[in-house]
Amino acid sequence: MPDGEPQSSVDSRMDAALALRELGPRIAALSAKDRDTLLLYAWGDLTYEQIAGVLGVPVGTVRSRLNRVRRKLAHPTRAGRAG
């Protein structure tokens, strides 16, 4: 552990790395539209309105896509299904 870094910070990074390893294949299995929407929201830190502008879709579509993605990622057997 680096000098002065609290154990909780190290644990958090390890938890995040594990989650990414588990979620990576499930995220890759999403449709391109769903995956793009998720990545803009989660890693792009964009609002629903900003995502809608970037993707050229209504805000309601962004909400629908993120809801579908949340359900699929919460239930791994749904990740590979068309939607």
Counted domains in the chain: 1
In the block, residue with structure tokens 């990740």 = 79
Task: Give a yes or no: residue 67 inside a domain.
Answer: yes
Residue 16 to residues 30, 60, 76, Cα–Cα distance (Å): 20, 30, 18
* pLDDT score, position 81: 52
> pTM score > 0.75 for this model?
no
Task: Give a yes or no: residue 37 inside a domain.
Answer: yes
Own/partner contacts of 72-78, CB < 8 Å, gap of 24 or more, are: 72/26, 72/30, 72/34, 73/23, 73/26, 73/27, 76/26
DSSP H or E segment with residue 30: none
Over the chain (83 residues), the average pLDDT of each successive run of 10 is 65 73 88 96 94 98 97 72 49
Task: Give a yes or no: residue 45 inside a domain.
Answer: yes
CATH of the domain at 23: 1.10.10.10
In the block, residue with structure tokens 């805000």 = 59
The domain of 26 spans 7-78
